[in-house]
Structure 1
Amino acid sequence: MNALRTVSLLLATVTTGLMAGLFAGFAYAVLPGLSRVDDSSFVTSMRAINAAILNGWFALCFGGALVCTMAAVLLHLPADRRAPLPWLVAALVLYGLVLAVTAAVNVPLNDRLAAGAKLADPGELRAMFEGTWVRWNVVRAVLNTAALGCLGWALLIARSVAG
């Protein structure tokens, strides 16, 4: 059981870290770069990115962060293994907020951008999309990074209790 607890916590940390890196990379590199291109290039690029990201690797990390963090929480419920539990629960709540923002804001905006008629004015599509998507992506990056920090701290606590 110790090995399963350790593996679930490690996988939760890795997948959460990969998601935090993705959202942060968008916040400090991809979107600032795209802010420098014309409206048509922006819309075309974001449509292509939004289509390309829907793949197995993304799904593994996006869903894996939730599943592995939930598993780590459940496996640390026994009384003698609860030391990292507050940090695991905090990570789970923070990642749940990431999922909520994604579902409530970013995905609907992605869908609206994809559904925009090819002949629609790219400037209007960009104005509808960019500001809100960028702001909420930064929120996701911060929440996800905080979740990663909680999982890192949980790893340290679990190691000190086990060691």
Structure 2
Amino acid sequence: MTGTRDAVFVLGIVCVGLMAGLFAAFAYAVMPGLGQTDDRSFVLAMQRINVVIVNPLFMLLFVGGAGCTVAAAVLYRERRMFWWIVAGAVLYAIGLLITMALNIPLNDRLQAAGDPERIADIHAVRRAFESSWVRWNIARAVVHTAAFAVLVVGAVTR
């Protein structure tokens, strides 16, 4: 049981860490870079990213972080690190809620705007998307990074 329990916990930490890194990379590199592009390039790039990011690996990490941390909490309920794992799972869940309630609807509206070559007021479409999406992405990056940090603390709190 200990090997399985440890493997589940490590997988949870890895999934949460990779998601934190993804959202952080968008915050400090991808969005600042796209922010320097013209409106059509920005909208087109984000539309394409939002399509390709929903792939099996992303979904495995996205859902796996939640599943493995909750499973680890159950498996470690009698250990000192239990509350660290619970805190990591709760923080991760908050990040998922931000993604599902705020970032994804913004992505959907951007996609629904249609082909950037045919959008009459591309600047308005970008303006309605960019600042809100960036703000909520930073929030989820911070929350996911905090989840990763407390899970790592839990791993060293035996």
TM range (shorter): over 0.9
1:37-116 → structure 2 map (5 Å cutoff): 37-77=37-77, 79=78, 82-116=79-113
Once residues 31 and 109 of structure 2 are traced to their aligned partners in structure 1, the CA distance between those partners, rounded to angstroms, is 18
CA-atom RMSD in angstroms: 0.8
- Unmatched tracts of structure 2, length 5 or more: none
What displacement does 1:117 show? 3.2
What displacement does 1:124 show? 1.0
TM-score normalised to structure 2 length = 0.96
What displacement does 1:143 show? 0.2
TM-score normalised to structure 1 length = 0.93
- Identity %, equivalent residues: 47
Task: Detail structure 1 runs of 4+ shifted over 4 Å in the superposition.
Answer: none
SS state at 1:83 partner? coil
Once residues 96 and 17 of structure 1 are traced to their aligned partners in structure 2, the CA distance between those partners, rounded to angstroms, is 14
- Unmatched tracts of structure 1, length 5 or more: 159-163
Aligned residue-pair number: 155
Q: 2:33 matched to 1:33?
A: yes
Residues 48-107 of structure 1 show CA distances to partners (whole Å, capped at 9, x for unaligned) of 000010101101110110010011001012x3xx20011001001100100110111000
Quote the residue 1:8 is aligned against.
8
The letter for the 1-side match of 2:38 is D
